[in-house]
Amino acid sequence: MYKVISAGLSAVIVLLSGPAIAAKSGEQVYKEVCQVCHAAGVANAPKFGDSAKWAPLIKEGQVTLTVDGWLGVRAMPPKGGNSSLSLQEFAGAVAFMARSGGAKWQDPDAKMLADMQALEKKKLAARAKK
Ligand code: HEC
């Protein structure tokens, strides 16, 4: 009986921990998705490590800049062109790149992610009205 319960519990634990393990770090996402454009500055993308380019963007604030990139802005494709990314993963990659340009940004916590989702909703609603 104990064995059955314990086997069942392990299965549940594996299932629950799955998504957490699958979430990619900002650096990983940068290397897999963003680097293609942001390493060399393709189409005038702010280059990794170019603090002069990143300074004005960092001033916009982490929530605003992340949501603008997430929704796409000018030549920057929404989600960096990879629709399988979660907002959390995308935000981690933005923080990673911003740090390369001098920001002290950390990966967003739950509260900041909620702020990002709220701003995303607001911007989508504003776009729908246009
Ligand atoms: C296909 C090329 C391309 C890929 C891939 C790409 N970007 Fe960009 N990104 C751009 C370009 C070009 C700009 C500059 C947009 C402009 O100002 O015209 C930009 C701008 C940005 C900005 C600044 C947005 C602003 O408000 O000015 C952020 C943040 C950003 N990218 C994050 C990312 C992240 C994170 C990834 C990976 C998940 C990524 N990008 C992948 C091309 C790309």
Query: For a pocket test of ligand 1, which of 36, 37, 107 has the largest count of ligand atoms closer than 8 A to its C-beta?
Result: 37
- pLDDT for the residue 11: 56
User: What are the structural domains of the chain?
Assistant: 24-129 (1.10.760.10)
DSSP 47-104: PTT-HHHHHHHHHT-HHHHHHHHHH-BTTB-GGGG-TT--HHHHHHHHHHHHHHTT--
Is any atom of ligand 1 closer than 6 Å to the C-beta of 40?
no
- pLDDT for the residue 23: 83
DSSP element (H, E) containing 29: helix 26-29
Query: For a pocket test of ligand 1, which of 62, 76, 79 has the largest count of ligand atoms closer than 8 A to its C-beta?
Result: 76
Name the amino acid, one letter, at 85.
L
Distance in angstroms (rounded) separating the CA atoms of residues 123 and 103: 24
Mean pLDDT score across all residues of the chain = 90
The CA-CA-CA angle for residues 11, 15, 18, to 5°, reads 135
Could you tell me if residue 103 is left (phi over 0), alpha (psi between -120 and 50 degrees) or otherwise beta? Answer: beta
Q: In this structure, which residue's CA is closest to atom 14 in ligand 1?
A: 45
Q: What is the pTM of this model?
A: 0.87
- pLDDT for the residue 8: 55
pLDDT in tens, 11-69: 554 444 444 457 899 999 999 999 999 999 999 999 999 999 999 999 999 999 999 99
Q: In this structure, which residue's CA is closest to atom 13 in ligand 1?
A: 45
- pLDDT for the residue 4: 59
pLDDT in tens, 31-41: 999 999 999 99
- pLDDT for the residue 18: 45
| C-alpha of residue 66 to centroid of ligand 1, in Å | 10
